[in-house]
Structure 1
Amino acid sequence: MSRVALTLQIPDLSGFAKSVREQLGKLAGPPSHVEMLNLLCRSAGFRNYQHCKGVMEAQQRLHLPPPAAAPVDYSLVERAARLFDEHGRLLRWPTRPALQDLCLWVLWSRLASRKTFTEKQISELIKGWHVFGDHALLRRALIGWRLVQRTQDGSEYRRIEQKPPAELRPLIARLPAMPLLQPAESQT
């Protein structure tokens, strides 16, 4: 049986290493060869080794280049991380638009997807995510940046599903885990 060479590109080496460590910690003993292949492929974002192999072979058959990872501006991530406290709450509204944008993406990621909120519900959520006391500013900014949509009368708010910037994942990884809050009265 001939072996197929697969190239595994890992856009976030730190996240990959954490995932490998976490999965190894759950095992009773050293993994077998197949378990190790599956573990590595899961850490790289695939379901298992067969899924990874299938994707790679399809890319080769179609002569597609491997997907390029979007470059991450780690200095922006570092500056944005300093705007959050030890509980993951936003300390102040930044003056630079790039930092405002990234901070809003963090709030966007905390909103439950495909859920509808009232103005009161979304305001209560946002109040818990910052400490500078201006939830209305953040709510309006989420709408202005087109991360959240609202009905004409302002009675319903909903997260707009879209691809976040490359900096969001490393920023969230640096922030303390915050539970996904969903008000009890939220509608589907």
Structure 2
Amino acid sequence: MTRPVLSLTIDDLSPFARRLHQALAQAGSAPSHLALMNMLARAGGWQNFQHFRSGALAQIEPAGSMMVVDQPRVTQALRHFDGQGLLLRWPAKTNLQHLAVWGLWSQLPKGAVMTEQEISSRLNRLHLFGDAAILRRTMVELGLVKRTADGREYRREERAPAPTERALIRHLHVRSAS
């Protein structure tokens, strides 16, 4: 049986190298193959190699065809975020806007009922251009957030992100953890 290829994509090499350097310094001596794979995975933002591997394998459909991550689109969207994962500006292209709001959606609390003021406050902490209304409207249009007819209550809708959205969310979580 052939081994699946697991690609490791690094969003920002500097924090990755810093984390890997710290892990190698703590090891003291040359780590084993498995220990090195765990260090690489942790430096990339995963818990360990198994966590990385399961995420990479989740992109493979049962039939064996690969669910492809649109890495150039992820890279373009990441340019609109700062080093801490805050959205700097609203992308001009609609497909990047839609991808960017997935990153914000992932940081909204699951199951919480929020007023318009509460969701706006949460979104204001996640972006720097001061327009929570456009973010709320886009999330509602995409079905990421549901609101009551009178607009008084908002709730994050639980949906499974596609591989490209998952890749962006993972990169943003690594950035915000740095």
Give the TM bin, normalised by the shorter chain.
0.5 to 0.7
Q: In structure 1, list runs of 5 or more residues that go unmatched.
A: 47-51, 53-63, 180-188
1:103-142 residue pairs with structure 2 within 5 A?
Answer: 103-142=100-139
CA distance 1:161–1:9, change in 2 (3 Å): farther
Q: How many residues align?
A: 152
CA distance 1:35–1:79, change in 2 (3 Å): closer
Q: Name segments (4+ residues, structure 1) moved above 6 Å.
A: 24-36
Match of 2:72 among 60, 75, 81: 75
2: CA distance between counterparts of 1:130 and 1:96? 17
Cα deviation, 1:40-77, whole Å, max 9, x if unaligned, reads 5443118xxxxx9xxxxxxxxxxx533x3321222211
Shift of 1:106: 0.8
Confirm whether residue 65 of structure 1 aligns to residue 63 of structure 2: yes
Which of 1 and 2 has greater Rg? 1
TM-score (norm 2): 0.66
Match in the other structure for 1:43: 52
1: CA distance between counterparts of 2:2 and 2:78? 35
CA RMSD of aligned residues (A): 3.4
Assess if the C-alpha contact under 8 Å between 1:84 and 1:175 holds in 2. no
Q: In structure 2, list runs of 5 or more residues that go unmatched.
A: 11-15, 39-47
2: CA distance between counterparts of 1:40 and 1:90? 29
Match in the other structure for 1:178: 176
Which one-letter code corresponds to 2:8 in the other structure?
L
Q: Per the alignment, in what secondary structure is the counterpart of residue 163 of structure 2?
A: coil
| Greater fraction helix | 2
Shift of 1:138: 0.9
TM-score (norm 1): 0.63
Shift of 1:33: 9.9
Match of 2:9 among 6, 10, 14: 14
